[in-house]
């Protein structure tokens, strides 16, 4: 394919809450939860942060990293399940904030945790067709989990923005992509409800594992590749166990999962989850190395991508914060302050 990632940017709020502090409030055994989820802390948005502000910061980092003129951006698509407005696009705010308006198209995407990769595929199509020069695909979320629900221990905040352009400019060429989609209602939130609901163990099989495995196998078959042909693999990270289990099931090693497996220190950033994992890989990948990425969105579907790193990756090193730098030096909150930051306390 004649498209690839020209640049990328990430934003992760500095605030965190430890799983043990959430467990203490509800009288639960933190060690059991941490062992079961593979998550020991998660990111929390500041009082003035939401999906929009996180998307804007990630987009600014993406443009800064490769010194991109925002007027080259012909499309902005933001995937999220926590858009601040039911009727008012996030993407227009992002486009205005980065100076890309007015000659562009924009829209918001929703497909649970794979909305960001759905936006990525759309930008790929627009660039390939020649309709636009560069496209900006964003996954951003400040997802909520109901108090004392399993999701509260993992639902986090963060964003990743990917600039999509022609392969000749790319730091990572997208060799191919494919998707696997069904109507599997494992996770949902109706309009007006503050917290999502989920099917419990139903979210593993037949939701996450079926879709991630099927999309990945389809991509391997389509590209004529095997797990050992890739240097890195990134899967959606609702917790620390699911990506490890599906990697082993498909024949990938633990070494291939690193350094993209950041969920333990970050939590589940939903639409940004697999994309932030990809960014963590791009931060250290070398020219010629190959990456396989498979997202998952409840409802349900997976998008799988094969990417090859180019020599241009070295040109954009140090242009914007890495995932490791954004995870460093956190500020920890107690449960009361966390609840205030997340809007769980209503006056």
* Residue 268 is assigned to a ligand binding site: yes
* Averaged pLDDT, 7-31: 98
Q: Which residues are catalytic?
A: 81, 113, 236
Q: To the nearest whole number, what is the mean pLDDT of the chain? A: 96
Structure confidence at residue 58 (pLDDT): 98
Q: For a pLDDT cut of 70, what percent of the chain falls above it?
A: 100
Q: What share of the chain is helix, strand, coil (3-state, %, to 5)?
A: 40, 25, 35
Average pLDDT of the segment spanning 235-252: 97
On whether 29 is known to bind a ligand per the annotation, the reply is yes
How far apart (Å, rounded) are the C-alpha atoms in residues 30 and 204? 22
pLDDT of amino acid 182: 97
Binned at pLDDT 50, 70 and 90, residue 45 comes out as very high
The neighbouring-strand residues paired with 135 are 75, 164
Nearest to 309 by CA among 346, 278, 337: 278
Rg of the chain (C-alpha set) = 19
Query: Are the C-beta atoms of residues 37 and 244 closer than 8 Å to each other?
Result: no
Residue range 163-196, pLDDT digits in tens:
999 999 999 999 999 999 999 988 888 888 888 8
Closest CA to 251 of 227, 275, 215, 225: 227
pLDDT number for residue 206: 92
Distances (CA, A) of 137 to 113, 117, 165, 282, 283: 14, 8, 11, 16, 18
- Residues 125-167 have pLDDT tens digits of 999 999 999 999 999 999 888 999 989 999 999 999 999 999 9
Nearest CA among 289, 300, 274 for reference residue 179: 300
CATH architecture entry for 173-312: 3-Layer(aba) Sandwich (3.40)
pLDDT above 90: percentage of residues in the chain: 91
pLDDT at 197: 82
Is 328 known to sit in a ligand binding site? no
pLDDT band, very low/low/confident/very high, at 253 (cuts 50, 70, 90)? very high
154 assigned binding-site residue: yes
pLDDT at residue 1, rounded to an integer: 83
In sign, the C-alpha dihedral spanning 139, 140, 146, 152 is positive
Average pLDDT on 287-304 reads: 97
- Cα(120)–Cα(52) distance, integer angstroms: 18
Task: Report the DSSP beta bridge partners of residue 301.
Answer: 181, 297
Cα first-last separation, the chain: 53
DSSP string of 162-219, one letter each residue: EEEEEGGG-SEEEEEEEEEE----SEE--TT-SS-EE-GGGGIIIIIHHHHHHHHHHH
The angle at the Cα of 273, spanning 179 to 204, to the nearest 5 degrees, equals: 65
Q: Is 67 annotated as a binding residue?
A: no
Q: Say if residues 84 and 141 touch (Cβ distance below 8 Å).
A: no
pLDDT in tens, 48-86: 999 999 999 999 999 999 999 999 999 999 999 999 999
Q: Is residue 202 scored above 80 in pLDDT?
A: no
Which pLDDT belongs to residue 50? 98
Whole-number pLDDT of residue 143: 87
- The pLDDT score that the predictor gives to residue 54 is 98
Residue with tokens 């996954």: 139
In this model, does residue 201 exceed pLDDT 80? no
Q: 187 phi and psi, to 5 degrees?
A: -160, 135
Q: Cite the residue boundaries of each domain of the chain with CATH code 3.40.47.10.
A: 3-171+315-341, 173-312
Entry pTM: 0.97
Q: Is the pLDDT of residue 344 over 90?
A: no
Q: Hey, what CATH topology would domain 3-171+315-341 get?
A: Peroxisomal Thiolase; Chain A, domain 1 (3.40.47)
């Amino acid at each position: 394919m004649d498209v690839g990632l020209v640049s990328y940017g990430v934003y992760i709020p500095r605030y965190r809450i430890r799983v043990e502090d959430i467990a203490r409030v509800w009288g639960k055994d933190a060690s059991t939860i941490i062992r079961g989820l593979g998550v020991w802390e998660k990111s929390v948005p500041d009082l003035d942060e939401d999906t929009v502000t996180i998307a804007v910061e990630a987009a600014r980092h993406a443009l800064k990293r490769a010194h991109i003129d925002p007027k080259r951006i012909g499309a902005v698509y933001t995937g999220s399940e926590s858009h601040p407005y039911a009727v008012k696009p996030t993407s227009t705010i992002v486009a205005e904030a980065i100076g890309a308006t007015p000659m562009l198209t924009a829209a918001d995407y929703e497909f649970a945790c794979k909305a960001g990769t759905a936006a990525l595929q759309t930008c790929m199509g627009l660039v390939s067709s020649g309709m636009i020069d560069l496209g900006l695909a964003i996954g951003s979320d400040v997802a909520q989990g109901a108090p004392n629900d399993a999701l509260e221990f993992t639902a986090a905040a963060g964003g990743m923005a990917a600039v999509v352009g022609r392969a000749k400019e790319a730091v990572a060429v997208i060799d191919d992509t494919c998707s696997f989609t069904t109507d599997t209602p494992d996770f949902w939130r109706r309009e007006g409800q503050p917290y999502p609901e989920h099917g419990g163990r139903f979210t593993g099989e037949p939701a996450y594992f079926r879709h991630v495995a099927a999309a990945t196998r389809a991509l391997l078959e389509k590209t004529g590749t095997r797990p050992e042909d890739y240097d890195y693999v990134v899967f959606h990270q609702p917790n620390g166990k699911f990506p490890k289990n599906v990697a082993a099931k498909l024949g990938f090693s633990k070494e291939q999962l690193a350094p993209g497996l950041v969920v333990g220190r970050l939590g589940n950033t939903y639409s940004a989850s697999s994309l932030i994992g990809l960014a963590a890989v791009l931060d250290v990948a070398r020219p010629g190395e190959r990456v396989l990425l498979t997202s998952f969105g409840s409802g349900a579907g997976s998008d799988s991508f094969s990417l090859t790193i180019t020599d241009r990756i070295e040109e954009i090193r140090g242009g914007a914060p890495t995932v490791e730098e954004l995870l460093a030096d956190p500020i920890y909150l107690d449960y009361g302050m966390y609840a205030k930051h997340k809007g769980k306390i209503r006056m």
